[in-house]
Amino acid sequence: MDLQDVLEDVAAGETTVEEARRAIDGYTRVDDFARLDTGRADRAGIPEVVLGDGKSIEHLRSIALSFLEERGHVVLTRVDEAAVDTLDGVAHDIDWYPESRILVLQTAAYEPPEPDGTVAVVSGGTADVPVAEEAAVTAREMGCTVETFYDVGVAGIHRILSEADALARTDAVVVAAGREGALPTVVAGLVDVPVIGLPVSIGYGHGGGGEAALAGMLQSCTVLSTVNIDAGFVAGAQAAQIART
């Protein structure tokens, strides 16, 4: 909502002065521990998403309730089942994705964005799927149709080659891969849509924490964007921005 809309709503008596102030400020205070960027969706096209890591259950609950009041919708990433149990019942709709550890809460009045754009999410192996799913759920919550292609790694190259036409029909592709991280380079050489490499901390020994996969993607000989290790949310959100453009 832009400033003109806010002022018109105040003049018409549809918005209180306090609500208008919060809309103009673009953030909401939660006690003394958080300032929520409630205006980010209007400003950047992607809402602020709450990272569960490092936050107490009490803080997560307070933050979630504030977002529900302001926006009617909140996405929490990297949460555990204890937090899910605590937040059960605070919203009309609760969607818990245990594999990606994403929790989505929304009110009955929330209207999700109209589907726009298609994102493909690819994984090299089954062990990469939790990180790939974080990207997939994120892109879906940002209003994209998501198609998944899992366990199509380069050790059996025919698996990804058989999906090349389907991948080329999408608007953006996220490729999650651990170990040597070669799959994103292969995919980027097969399709004419943007490809985002998502290195995964799967492997062992030297470089096995995702470092080898990240280094390989950064040195790709095809045109490839790369996010940080295990950064499924970032990859999914970036792909959604591309697909919805």
Per-residue pLDDT of 53-110, as tens digits, reads: 888 888 888 888 887 887 888 999 999 988 888 888 788 888 999 999 999 999 888 8
Report pLDDT for 196.
99
Q: pLDDT value at position 44?
A: 59
Spans of all domains in the chain = 3-106, 118-244
The answer to whether domain 118-244 has CATH 3.40.50.1970 is yes
Task: Indicate the pLDDT class of residue 35, thresholds 50, 70 and 90.
Answer: low
Residues 201-215 have a mean pLDDT of 95
pLDDT at 205 over 90: yes
**In the structure, what pLDDT confidence band is assigned to residue 22 with cuts at 50, 70 and 90?**
low
Please tell me the pTM assigned to this model: 0.83
Average pLDDT, the chain: 88
Res 152 pLDDT > 90: yes
Judged against a pLDDT cut of 60, whether residue 8 lies above it is answered with yes
Check residue 17 and give its pLDDT.
78
pLDDT over threshold 70, residue 43: no
Q: What is the pLDDT of residue 207?
A: 93
How far from 237 is each of 9, 91, 120, 144, 220, CA to CA, in Å? 31, 24, 12, 10, 22
